[in-house]
Structure 1
């Protein structure tokens, strides 16, 4: 990658991290915090406050992506970060579950993921785009694991309300990065009419959307089952699970980037994609069968993370090449919505299966999802090969 592409990766990766690390830190501590708020707080209100962010994200990713096609990526990202910060401050300065829920809704209204992904696609050349997106995706994975470790610690220092406030401050710090550090997007022809019809009528794009939905449903199911498996098989308490996740994640990225480069250079993106989906299914089936064995569980999780990291990085790159240039934001908006919905579907489904058939049942369910994905992924046309020149000749 050239210097401008590295600036885009570092800058937009930092935007993702500054926006999300506080959100991730809240996850393991919010339920206990909410139940001790003044007045009786019903369990469904706690669940609603937790889920309000994701629900609003799912509603607004497509409109924000479409708007970024029309009015530009950076203005929409800056506006979204300001809205997200406002919601964080509202949640952090309230002791009432209803106002905290309102703050979570406003946080979700800052739905910038599709615009950020579209901007990263705009300012990177096709032959390095998958690597760029994989780097950002791995950075998000590391942020998630660190946040799971730091959340209980930091909440002990500044409280959950302090984490919300910190999240707002971090979001504001991302704004100057977007304005002055991230490279400017290239000029392009804005669509005369904002319409989803071409995106929703494209069977190839819909196959990619269905894939990311199942990938994130699968991921959520894994993180429902894996904590119980690590506790039961390895005897690790929850606060020490990062000792497994962090090395696994770091080891898993070693083969991913060479594989990405080989697939892009040789025009083998489609067969490697199908192979990665197959590896995802095989690793989770192995985990379901061997989750009682420490070595078997660790080997299966390592293979899972290799497949997941490749797919998480390659899918947005492929969809950005398949989408019409003037509707890239809309296409990535639909993609981001499917991503959020996948997590929303996978959690309740995995929880139900966990109660019926235990950890092994959840892992076997997770293995079935990529097999379902393969039924329509095999009809995917090869994506356009990465161009040999920059999208923006000034880069």
Structure 2
């Protein structure tokens, strides 16, 4: 990468991470510390946690498409400003209603699609995969930091102090965008990083993509449900003071990082991602059953949380890869936009539904809800096909190549090339191929000769 690409990748990865902290940091603390807020009930606490996800889900695709028209930078800066204002509103509120409104405002800063598109604008084709991977790692790191630091900050500074910290993260992201992230020379509309209207309905109708979209929604439903219930069990059932919850999450998350790696490697190397996904869902199901029936000790719960995180992190890591493999050539951006919307919608539904379940059935009802979700999820996955193990490439075309009516047909005759799509407005072609049968250099040579 050249210096400009490094600045873009590091800066946007940090912006992404700072923003994701706002979603994740409240998970392990809201169920406990939110009870001190005026008018707080389990239903409203759950809704306050999930409100961020609902507004993100509603605005993710529209704001991404708007950034194609008016520019990435204005959308990202406005989004970060809304995120900052929402954090301040929540920090200054003494009632659950104020926190709920603040969380709605936070979620209105739905900038994921615009950030990814800007990163695409600022990086060259050969470095884009590495840059996108950095964004993915920043999301995983932000989740780890949030789950561990949330209880520590809430213990020392209260829920209000936690939201002030999140506001500071939003302000830091704003400053990064202004002073660190380079300004693009031009705004490029690429189908691998943008929503294409023509691809929207076909992508929604694709059953295997639907199964993956449901998977990301379901895993966040289960995660939200468990993390509204588990802090209460740690505090009330096993007697672990709330100022010590952080070390449980720290040990569990570090242990899970080592546990997930072999599963991901096995899935990719042996081409068994479907089996790894189903196995991980089964693990979540077993963990939910365990949480339902065993509250015997903090160590038993620690083991359960560790195993839960192994499955959760594995699913989080493999689903974007599976989306990229299953999506049609040239439709990856649209598929990822729907995928992200499903993720936030699942988080919103999981948190708000858990609040209702806790209100009327106690914390055990949330685990029953998780069990039901996992059973439905497994039924949906059983008929899913193993994803094609293909790689995508985008190549610029000359006028003569664009005018060649046999280009796609000749490419599809080659062993290992499974799909191709010409985007005339970009003067480019998107090709999906299997590296076991044909290399990227060979694909490029076929197009350029």
The interval holding the TM-score normalised by the smaller chain is: 0.7 to 0.9
Between the aligned partners of 1:130 and 1:161, the Cα distance in structure 2 is 28
What's 1:347 paired with?
Answer: 351
User: Cα 1:45–1:348, aligned 2, differ >3 Å: closer, same or farther?
Assistant: closer
User: Cα 1:298–1:7, aligned 2, differ >3 Å: closer, same or farther?
Assistant: farther
Secondary structure, counterpart of 2:263 in structure 1: helix
Between the aligned partners of 2:96 and 2:65, the Cα distance in structure 1 is 33
1:19 counterpart = 2:23: no
Q: Once structures 1 and 2 are overlaid, which stretch shifts more, 102-111 or 128-137? A: 128-137
Does the 8 A contact of 1:91 with 1:164 survive in 2? no
What's 1:317 paired with?
Answer: 321
Q: Once structures 1 and 2 are overlaid, which stretch shifts more, 101-110 or 90-99? A: 90-99
What's 2:109 paired with?
Answer: 110
Does the 8 A contact of 1:19 with 1:170 survive in 2? no
What's 1:144 paired with?
Answer: 146
Does the 8 A contact of 2:225 with 2:370 survive in 1? yes
Does the 8 A contact of 1:66 with 1:329 survive in 2? no
1:289 counterpart = 2:293: yes
Secondary structure, counterpart of 2:110 in structure 1: coil
Secondary structure, counterpart of 2:19 in structure 1: helix
Q: Which has the higher contact order (CA 8 A, sep 6+)?
A: 1
Q: Once structures 1 and 2 are overlaid, which stretch shifts more, 47-56 or 354-363? A: 47-56
Greater fraction of residues in strand: 2
Does the 8 A contact of 1:15 with 1:178 survive in 2? no
1:226 counterpart = 2:230: yes
Between the aligned partners of 1:341 and 1:362, the Cα distance in structure 2 is 18
What's 1:171 paired with?
Answer: 173
Q: How does 1:379-394 map to 2 (within 5 A)?
A: 379-387=383-391, 388=435
User: Cα 1:261–1:226, aligned 2, differ >3 Å: closer, same or farther?
Assistant: same
Secondary structure, counterpart of 2:181 in structure 1: helix
What's 2:156 paired with?
Answer: 153
Secondary structure, counterpart of 1:291 in structure 2: coil
How many equivalent pairs are there? 385
Between the aligned partners of 1:327 and 1:151, the Cα distance in structure 2 is 42
User: CA RMSD for the aligned pairs?
Assistant: 4.4
What's 2:406 paired with?
Answer: none
TM-superposed CA distance for 1:105, in Å, is 4.3
User: Cα 1:245–1:172, aligned 2, differ >3 Å: closer, same or farther?
Assistant: same
TM-superposed CA distance for 1:247, in Å, is 1.0
Between the aligned partners of 2:370 and 2:255, the Cα distance in structure 1 is 22
**Residue of 376, 383, 389 corresponding to 2:380:** 376
User: Cα 1:311–1:11, aligned 2, differ >3 Å: closer, same or farther?
Assistant: farther
Unpaired segments ≥5 residues, structure 2: 392-434, 445-449
Secondary structure, counterpart of 1:196 in structure 2: helix
Superposition TM-score, scaled by structure 1 size: 0.76
Secondary structure, counterpart of 1:382 in structure 2: coil
What's 1:38 paired with?
Answer: none
User: Cα 1:254–1:11, aligned 2, differ >3 Å: closer, same or farther?
Assistant: farther
Secondary structure, counterpart of 2:240 in structure 1: coil
Between the aligned partners of 1:59 and 1:174, the Cα distance in structure 2 is 26
Q: Describe the superposition over 1:84-130 as per-residue Cα deviations: whole angstroms up to 9, x where unpaired.
A: 34555677789999998776544322202344467789979899899
Greater fraction of residues in helix: 1
TM-superposed CA distance for 1:239, in Å, is 2.3
Unpaired segments ≥5 residues, structure 1: 36-40
Q: Describe the superposition over 1:124-164 as per-residue Cα deviations: whole angstroms up to 9, x where unpaired.
A: 989989976763343122122213321342459x8577446
Secondary structure, counterpart of 1:234 in structure 2: coil
Between the aligned partners of 2:10 and 2:348, the Cα distance in structure 1 is 29
Q: Once structures 1 and 2 are overlaid, which stretch shifts more, 342-351 or 41-50? A: 41-50
Q: Describe the superposition over 1:329-375 as per-residue Cα deviations: whole angstroms up to 9, x where unpaired.
A: 33222222222222222234333443555444432332332221011
Does the 8 A contact of 1:130 with 1:313 survive in 2? no
**Residue of 336, 339, 363 corresponding to 1:335:** 339
Does the 8 A contact of 1:18 with 1:174 survive in 2? no
Between the aligned partners of 1:300 and 1:54, the Cα distance in structure 2 is 26
Between the aligned partners of 2:5 and 2:276, the Cα distance in structure 1 is 25
Q: Once structures 1 and 2 are overlaid, which stretch shifts more, 26-35 or 356-365? A: 26-35
What's 2:366 paired with?
Answer: 362
Give the greater-gyration-radius structure (CA).
2
Between the aligned partners of 2:328 and 2:72, the Cα distance in structure 1 is 16
Does the 8 A contact of 1:70 with 1:194 survive in 2? no
Between the aligned partners of 2:283 and 2:96, the Cα distance in structure 1 is 43
Between the aligned partners of 2:276 and 2:138, the Cα distance in structure 1 is 20
Between the aligned partners of 2:268 and 2:107, the Cα distance in structure 1 is 34
Between the aligned partners of 1:292 and 1:106, the Cα distance in structure 2 is 40
User: Cα 1:33–1:233, aligned 2, differ >3 Å: closer, same or farther?
Assistant: closer
